[in-house]
């Protein structure tokens, strides 16, 4: 896969482009049972729950990869205005969506 530029900015400095359309990358991830139990104990004493942080970081990376794949399939050179959205489906499942606007450089 060619490296599709992904930016949260509205424009790409020095580039003129046309808008192709919306692109998305979505993933739903869950923790394994052992990490879920460990997270439950950490919830009692407080502090960062590293298993959840790792889960969300991995989900974010997968969502961006899928966003890039979607943009590439559309013939895009970049994605502008990229954003994330996330939600808990259950106590042990998180869904992360990356979305933005696919553009083609002129």
CATH number at residue 34: 3.30.110.70
- What pTM was computed for the model? 0.81
Q: How many CB atoms lie within 10 A of CB 92?
A: 16
Ranges of the chain whose pLDDT falls below 70: 1-2, 31-46, 91
Contact indicator for 60, 83 with CB cutoff of 8 Å:
no
CA torsion through residues 47, 52, 56, 61, sign: positive
d(CA 81, CA 101) in angstroms, rounded, equals 6
d(CA 89, CA 106) in angstroms, rounded, equals 41
**33-45 vs 50-73: helix axis angle to the nearest 10?**
130
Domain that holds residue 13: 5-105
**How many domains does the chain contain in total?**
1
pLDDT given for residue 40 in this prediction: 57
């Amino acid at each position: 896969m060619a490296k599709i530029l992904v930016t949260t900015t509205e424009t790409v400095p020095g580039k003129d482009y046309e808008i192709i359309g919306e692109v998305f990358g979505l993933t739903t991830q869950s923790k394994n049972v052992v990490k879920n139990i460990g997270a439950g104990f950490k919830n009692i004493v407080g502090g960062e729950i590293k298993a959840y942080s790792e889960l969300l970081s991995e989900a974010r990376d997968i969502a961006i990869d899928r966003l890039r794949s979607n943009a590439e399939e559309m013939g895009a050179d970049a994605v502008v205005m990229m954003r994330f959205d996330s939600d808990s489906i259950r106590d042990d499942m998180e869904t992360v969506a990356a979305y933005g606007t696919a553009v083609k450089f002129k």
